[in-house]
Amino acid sequence: MTIPVRRFDAVIVGGGGAGLRAALQLSESGLKTAVLSKVFPTRSHTVAAQGGISASLGNVQEDRWEWHMFDTVKGSDWLGDQDAIEFMCRKAPEAVIELEHFGMPFDRLENGKIYQRPFGGHTQNEGEAPVQRACAAADRTGHAMLHTLYQRNVRANTQFFIEWMALDLIRDEDGDVVGVTALEMETGEVYNFHAKGVLFATGGAGRIYAASTNAFINTGDGLGMSVRAGIPLEDMEFWQFHPTGVAGAGVLITEGVRGEGGILLNANGERFMERYAPNLKDLAPRDFVARSMEQEVLEGRGCGPNKDHVLLKLDHLGPDIIKQRLPGIREIAIKFAGVDPIKEPIPVIPTCHYMMGGIPTNYRGEVVIPKGDNPEARVNGFYAAGECACASVHGANRLGTNSLLDLVVFGKSAGDSMVEFIKNEMPTWKPLPANAGQISLDRIARLDNQTGGEEVADVRAAMQRTVQARAAVFRNSENLALGVKEIQEVAERVKRTQIKDKSKVFNTARVEALELENLIEVAVATLISADARKESRGAHAHADFQQRDDEVWMKHTLYYGEDRRLTYKPVHTKPLSVEYIAPKVRTF
């Protein structure tokens, strides 16, 4: 069966913050560009980001990008690549100013400049005191940013393929990326997109966990496609648990609440973060706060009848601040926790939120993999940006507000790299391999013909239970070893999933089955990578190896799907222009 071909200079997969920012670079360059998204772009999960986007604008207090860089390196627990971190923090002010010029409705200070609030781990002068670095549009910063970027793409006449799900990456015999196979959801038709360059901006995969702040669509599609195409995944053991998910519902409550002065209380009414982080208190980085909360619960000081959560108190901020700066979380608390935070505290628990790992890239957004002696050889024609990519700026733990920044800085950078590559190195298209798209057709045919298999929802739930139980905030050798065994058993079940819906038209059962094939790659990568790392660093807190071990473990994990093996590559210790920030003990 021949698959119809559509040909573009560049194809972007994903219409969230990173994909849309990259699309602007490509549209402006005049290259023929397609943006594929499985949802209408403003439904991408960037829309749910709340608290802010960081940049050392210094609108409220003195700030410097070097301080932002220090905080990000320390926040990453020295697993972040310092060249990429310098690049991001230096570019942050111009990236935010650009969003403002695009029309983003930031909150304002009395002098008309962009409003900035404090956020976890962001400090003045290398840890002295919290600094107001998070540029905010109330507590809807992601919504404001995503809509602004979409609107700017409307202006630029970007060509969108909406509700098209990318299925597989197409690599030729040289290993170069020459396109992507995609499913038009409305018709069920499969097409090959032939391209000189492909950018993945497919977002996160938090749905491998049973409780997650992530949207249903966060199924790691870019990661699944990469693994199936022989591209390794980097640092997949590092998953961020956001301290304040609504207990039971999983919905996010921004760290901006604590930035505005909210505090965490245990069952005794004690502001316990003062004990764990005497200096930054409730504004310590997320991994630190999440562990402290879990510790309180483990030691019996949890709240509620089951003593299983803590309370986020903000009524002392007063109704005016809450209504003006935090209207969205008030709405969420009322709808999902049944409490009005003007009067009552919000019950919260650490909830899976963000994937620090992903497709290995450099700060130019180029996908890089080991080849011979080179640990980071460029994969020609392949780019990644945003949560699906690992640049690595977040290392073992991301600071709040650095993700929105990551999207626009690396979306733009990857877009620029693609334009350069396509214009300078790719006068014409490399041919599609003869079997291009066959793997996708086989996957769909398997689903169409499968009988006697298991339901997608059941297998997905089994995967989520396993990851939730075995790769949580606190980990240990026994649990991880069990997790590795169990998740590989679930992976076998994924091969036999069955759907009853055989319709060609908008077949969401098929989409969910295909998504599960991506999720399971991420879940297996997570457990195998986590099981191997015998230290504690950032979000990987290992009970049997409680110290960070820079001697042995200051290195990035690379997971290969075909034989489920791991290799490692060094952390970039050489920034672009400044001095190396050497590892220190991480206290706050």
Phi-psi group of 230: left, alpha or beta (phi > 0 → left; psi -120 to 50 → alpha; rest → beta): left
Residues 6+ positions from 316 with CB-CB distance below 8 Å: 261
- State which of residues 3, 60, 97, 491 lies at the interface with other proteins (CB under 8 A): 97
**Considering the complex, what minimum distance in angstroms separates the CB of residue 10 from other proteins?**
22
**Which residue is catalytic, options 258, 286, 443, 586?**
286
Closer by beta carbon to other proteins, 332 or else 414: 332
- State which of residues 1, 4, 112, 372 lies at the interface with other proteins (CB under 8 A): 112
- As given in the structure block, the two tokens for residue 341 are 């935070």
Smallest CA-to-CA distance from 208 within 544, 504, 464 is with 464
- State which of residues 20, 89, 499, 520 lies at the interface with other proteins (CB under 8 A): 499
Site for other proteins in 374-403 (CB under 8 A): none
Report the sign of the C-alpha dihedral through residues 581, 134, 330, 46, in that order.
negative
What DSSP element (H or E) covers 291?
helix 286-298
Binding of other proteins at residue 152 (CB under 8 A)? yes
- Build a one-symbol-per-residue string for 232-251: x at contacts with other proteins by CB under 8 A, - elsewhere: ----------------xx-x
Binding of other proteins at residue 217 (CB under 8 A)? yes
Q: How many residues bind other proteins (CB under 8 A)?
A: 60
Binding of other proteins at residue 48 (CB under 8 A)? yes
Local structure of 387: helix, strand or coil:
coil
Binding of other proteins at residue 504 (CB under 8 A)? yes
The letter for the amino acid at 468 is: Q
Binding of other proteins at residue 61 (CB under 8 A)? no
Closer by beta carbon to other proteins, 45 or else 74: 45
- State which of residues 45, 171, 281, 394 lies at the interface with other proteins (CB under 8 A): 45
Binding site as annotated, residues? 14-19, 37-52, 221, 242, 254, 353, 387, 398, 403-404
Q: What are phi and psi of 469, to 5 degrees?
A: -80, -30
- As given in the structure block, the two tokens for residue 243 are 């301290």
Closer by beta carbon to other proteins, 69 or else 499: 499
6 is catalytic: no
Q: What are phi and psi of 106, to 5 degrees?
A: -65, 150
The letter for the amino acid at 559 is: Y
- Per the CB < 8 A criterion, the answer to whether 583 and 554 are in contact is yes
Q: Write the DSSP symbol of residue 563.
A: T
- State which of residues 361, 507, 518, 557 lies at the interface with other proteins (CB under 8 A): 507
Closer by beta carbon to other proteins, 317 or else 439: 317
Q: Give the whole-angstrom CA distance, residue 51 versus residue 404.
A: 10
Closer by beta carbon to other proteins, 476 or else 508: 508
Question: Is-cis flag, bond preceding 392, omega within 30?
Answer: yes
Binding of other proteins at residue 501 (CB under 8 A)? yes
The residue written with tokens 């002696």 in the block is: 373
- Per the CB < 8 A criterion, the answer to whether 403 and 354 are in contact is yes
Residues 6+ positions from 503 with CB-CB distance below 8 Å: 188
Question: CA dist 250 to 223, 243, 253, 394, Å?
Answer: 23, 11, 9, 23
Site for other proteins in 455-494 (CB under 8 A): 455-458
Binding of other proteins at residue 167 (CB under 8 A)? no
- Per the CB < 8 A criterion, the answer to whether 69 and 86 are in contact is yes
**Considering the complex, what minimum distance in angstroms separates the CB of residue 403 from other proteins?**
16
Site for other proteins in 285-344 (CB under 8 A): 328, 331-332, 335-336
CA 373 to chain centre: 30
From the list 148-156, 266-274, 433-441, 547-555, the region that binds other proteins by CB under 8 A is 148-156
**Considering the complex, what minimum distance in angstroms separates the CB of residue 245 from other proteins?**
11
From the list 34-42, 75-83, 231-239, 415-423, the region that binds other proteins by CB under 8 A is 34-42
Binding of other proteins at residue 503 (CB under 8 A)? yes
- State which of residues 78, 106, 119, 354 lies at the interface with other proteins (CB under 8 A): 106
Report the sign of the C-alpha dihedral through residues 290, 291, 294, 296, in that order.
negative
Q: What are phi and psi of 262, to 5 degrees?
A: -70, 155
Q: Give the whole-angstrom CA distance, residue 66 versus residue 86.
A: 8
Closer by beta carbon to other proteins, 343 or else 500: 500
Closer by beta carbon to other proteins, 11 or else 217: 217
Binding site as annotated, residues for FAD? 14-19, 37-52, 221, 387, 403-404
From the list 97-105, 221-229, 469-477, 568-576, the region that binds other proteins by CB under 8 A is 97-105
Question: CA dist 522 to 32, 44, 90, 232, Å?
Answer: 32, 19, 31, 11
**Considering the complex, what minimum distance in angstroms separates the CB of residue 40 from other proteins?**
7
Q: Give the whole-angstrom CA distance, residue 353 versus residue 252.
A: 8
Binding of other proteins at residue 131 (CB under 8 A)? no
Q: Give the whole-angstrom CA distance, residue 556 versus residue 553.
A: 8
The letter for the amino acid at 259 is: G
Give the binding site for other proteins (CB under 8 A): 39-40, 42-45, 47-48, 97, 100-103, 105-114, 137, 140, 143-144, 147, 151-152, 154-155, 186, 215-217, 248-249, 251-252, 328, 331-332, 335-336, 455-458, 499-501, 503-509, 512
- Catalytically active residues, by annotation: 286
